[in-house]
Structure 1
Amino acid sequence: MNEVLLRSLTPSVLAILVRRGADFAAAEDAVQDALVEAVRVWPADRPRDPKGWLVTVAWRRFLDATRADAARRRREDLVDEEPAPGPTPAVDDTLQLYFLCAHPSLTPPSAVALTLTLTLRAVGGLTTRQIAQAYLVPEATMAQRISRAKRTVSSVRFDQPGDVATVLRVLYLVFNEGYSGDVDLAAEAIRLTRQLASAIDHPEVAGLLALMLLHHARRAARTAPDGSLVPLAEQDRGRWDTESIAEGVEILQAALARDRLGEFQAQAAIAALHADAPTTEETDWVQIVEWYDELARLTDSPIVRLNRAVAVGEADGPRAGLAALAALDNSLPRHAAVAAYLHERDGDLATAARLYAEAAHKAPNLAERDHLTRQAARLNARRCR
């Protein structure tokens, strides 16, 4: 059984059911039933057209559930006849489903929650807790948003696509969650953003694509052979993908030339400055701080201000960075890690070691926890010499 194939087909199958008239919750249930049936049947008799098979089985399950529910008989006009069997057109419906989930009846946070549920749970196999971590909210809050979104759209037709801004935010969150799991969500997010950029002439769509390419270019250098994290300052820049960097910079320059700055263009500009520097020491930190100022003006995001504090520490010294950090809530994700780094640069190894250990305890994943634990151990060893 090819679990990766099943997960990769899930968005397209869901999109087809929704486009035929199924509400999102019912479509999701029907597709899950079809996936269970595939796990049972395919090992002995794999279909020639896996996507078409899933669509047919899921649609039948939806029809059965609809017809069995007397309270929903008003939907019978949507499901009068089962479509004739046959090959399913080789059309990628995933991006269309993103737009449908960003329905105008939903608030942007609810639309993001609904689409993340589709992408990160159905395709990536992530839990509600992991989705909440990606969106920087408590698990209970994300669960409420998902439930509220499903209730809101339970009685509406998915025939009004949502706005581009919501879809861009979802694509970026999917990209950031893309380095774990069986399905390469980072590559999938780039693929979908390329599709969107070819269909919509918008500088922020281009900015997001540039940002993804510039970040993805460093992927090979981000981890050591043993799987441990490699900080930006220690990465082998010879392993960066220069073609992706060149493409990202070219796309970004064209977007910036249109003079309609948005947050993804600003983030891409920061990533481009990192990519352009031969070493960390030669990075134009002053200009990076200026871009963070622009980004903070556009988003008013505490995470942006946290990252800005690091840049200030590089441009003006660690004490300036600590002063910028002091204005932020210390409960922010990775606040302790940033504070540890700045204190280490300022020579306060005892405080830095304590904060690295604290940051390790709060780390969202094992790789980051191990990295921060090693940082704390390294400083404690230096202090004992």
Structure 2
Amino acid sequence: MPARNILVINCGSSSIKFALVNEEQAAFPLQGLAERLGSPEAVLHWQLGEAKESLDIPHADHRAALERLLPLAQEAAGGHLDGIGHRVVHGGEHFTGSTLIDDAVLDAVRTAAQLAPLHNPANLTGIEAAMALFPGLPQVSVFDTAFHQTMPEYAYRYAVPEFLYREHGVRRYGFHGTSHLYVSKRAAELTGLPVNDSCWLTAHLGNGSSTCAIVNGESRDTSMGLTPLEGLAMGTRSGDVDPNLHNYLARNLGWTLDQVDRMLNHESGLKGLSGLSNDMRTLYEARIAGHAGASLAFEVFCYRLAKSLAGMACALPRLDGLVFTGGIGENSSAIRARTLEHLKLFNFKLDDEANARCIRGVAGEIQATGSPRVMVVPTNEERQIAIDTLTLLDA
């Protein structure tokens, strides 16, 4: 049987990230991005093999962009797509794994939109457009939250009145599940450990960041909560703050809930601390040049990350390794080194040469002799979505 091809689609509010995944090829035959959708500047970028191209698609919406990119995917797949895998941010408590899409799934994704109003409606738009264009093709929903549905109740419940959970779904859900799942499985493969008998701390670090405790292939705790705002300091998100901050700002500055929400999600984190940028590469260069705000942002990021990892360790019976992934986790040797300096009780020690070598997609162990295992494992959420899709097709 020829190798199968899965198109992976990740729809944002004004963008579509896509990749064609062939089950036997390490590289994606096709990948790209449609951005600024709905505006006069809408554009479609794609890479086919080594060739990179762009096409202006002014005022194109999600469906119009998909109408342009789907023929590219069919051609790259040799005329045969086997299925489409869709990233969906929030599945609530409805989904403990990926699922073939039908009307009931669509309704559940709509219901969960109240928990992810910026993400689920966009994900839904992409699903509906793809189903209209390819009504006979199997389509699968892969949820960021599903991997974390194995958390015990004492890890996912907030200490708030019962009715808020029972009637309104107020609990910790967690995100980045596809990435945490992929890198923990990959770490087990690279070290020769069975997935179902291994224990990992994982740190997905990018503009959005989270940590996770994984036992025998299952999430036992994670740093994000009801929304992706909880947990670590991130690119523009504050992470954990005193829950009464809203009241304090309303009382003293007259801020509305919308103003506080915007500040915490879009004007905080690395950007807010530094007053300069949400990009860690820019901040690291500025820190070296003596920029005080950039240095503070760097230090807060590393300390809060270390503090979270130490807390996640409570969920592990033992530690087989700490895994760094995501754009920052895979490429910033300085972040990895400074974070581990805060975890002295774990006796982590780095091999500086190995740490410096693990950038730009290079995986490997970076600990010194005698230290608990520390790894850099590049994430591949698109491939994990394709794996989930193929597993459901096989079933």
Structure 2 length as normaliser, TM-score?
A: 0.29
Q: Which has the higher strand share?
A: 2
Structure 1 length as normaliser, TM-score?
A: 0.30
Structure having the higher Rg: 1
Bigger relative CO (Cα 8 Å, ≥ 6 apart): 2
